[in-house]
Structure 1
């Protein structure tokens, strides 16, 4: 039984159930491609670079699926298709209460030759504890610790003062990764706000570690203009996100690789618009009234089963915003044969398929969910079971798909269709 139109209850259930594995993180490539035909795939578990359970790739639209072998989360694949078309499939087994999961990514090399996928299923082996010593003057203060995409808010005062007069805060469960480490003394919601900022560049957290911050390392934040209805976040070093920081990165700490993310959210229509800027704007960066994308298609998706294959027909979308065009479509779906006592589907496998605009055009807007077989067979879709397909989510930008992963100064991104009301 195929269901392509979902009630809001079921849609929200599928969306919430899959939210934790549909996020694309900004990510710095560990290893760039060696030639124009090489695709680099980078897998991680909650930010920790490590191999996924299964990774397959296909050259062109109808090539043979090839199983890839990775090293520390890095896979490489040569695309010989004249148009640069390729597909990637990543699978993870059941984890805790989560069902099996599959990510499909379909694009052209000219759109992106780098693909980071975080499969989330992190264990204790993928995380580490960071102990932070700060001057005793900050005893009792709350720290805001940002590393990669994670954040922790420990309080100072976990110990008696050290011989150097330092007090301790402990940040648990940070990802084992290499990224810029950002630490605020204070929290965005605290009465005193953010008092000091420290940034440690290219910090490697590969095991439990302890660091000490001196007064010289802690810089006073620089005040910044606040804009009505526009949020400000930092993307530090291309990987580490901060939030709640309507302040400038201290000049003494600022790097050319740091960006400000200026965001506007329309909760009623369900879209987020973001601009990435190297410099903090001195005037309102954009008029929120001008961010008025065209309505989504009335029929965003239709589905059918043909020869035991699931075909998902996607209606292309033009946001009708100057300089922006749709570059990536995301479809979440799954199959099941039972429901819980609350009436929610109990999925056997949940899928997320990313389809670039170039790939979607090449397949005539009809995406056929692949069946790979072999050791991937347990993850292949079973069209004899009940299937739920969410309407697609749309990403539009003034740049390429690769710029979604590695934003640069001037990148503009619209994500549309992320909520149902």
Structure 2
């Protein structure tokens, strides 16, 4: 490796981006292309950075497997930062395996952290936890340790384990200060603020109030019967009944939970569950069928009792009944939740993260853009969507898969 490449790499490591570019800007050999790509990524020109890294990967010869794998990892990191979740996971896994096979343990671990962070964004927590358990962070340098601890904190927050999350964020803060990288310290601070931002709303006995993540964790461990409108389940501290694939039953359960200890009229239940303005005999017959199904589904936790006007939820064991709802509820709240992390998302990445079709996501984005709640930059495949963070609204901590329609 020649002296200019070494000097550019040292300037890049020291944060002198322009100094690094000055040394390799007119060169098209593989190491120079890779350094230019990384520099452009740090300057925020992700499209140019990806192009340069791809060219560098092709320019490295077949015997330079480590260099080519490092280019793939750098490109994957750019894709993650720019929320391009369509980056092939198999390519990143292959690069990690190549780095590990050639003894580049640190870059292999970095690739593993990127894989885990991608899994977190698309909601695959079990797989993310399995991968995380295989990583030993002991030899990690401070910068890589920050990424590892952020992954640990992210999983803990999504699992509603706030104490481990705080501990991981504290370790991440220490590592960020040791690394001396301002961007890493800022990312730790942004993540830590999620613990002091309302993550949900509690609806009980006709009133509601915001809950922090600590409060949600305490609620899940309490004796209350929780109708969870964040994950579409009904649960107590020991039993969980999922209604994710039964939207009508969940609508009925939520209406009964919000009204508890009072009953809910048949007309109101029909309007909530079937969206019918006028209840006719067919609606009333369908309501009887759905109430029967809900009664069977909730039998381990509660009973549904008929009243002269409608039905009332009767929890077993004299429990309180509460409803846990998202902090902001509107037709496209799930899309807004992902965009509120302040990053720029492609519609394809949102589609993957939400588990919805790209056309459905695009219609939601167009609707939100018409009301000024989101904005786009770029065109065609380079188009990205973003919005300023919504005050008092966490990003994806409590987001489930979308509730099926019908």
Q: TM-score, normalised by structure 2?
A: 0.25
Say which structure, 1 or 2, has more relative contact order (CA 8 Å, 6+ apart): 1
- Larger % of helix: which? 2
- Larger % of strand: which? 1
**Higher alpha-carbon Rg:** 2
Q: TM-score, normalised by structure 1?
A: 0.24
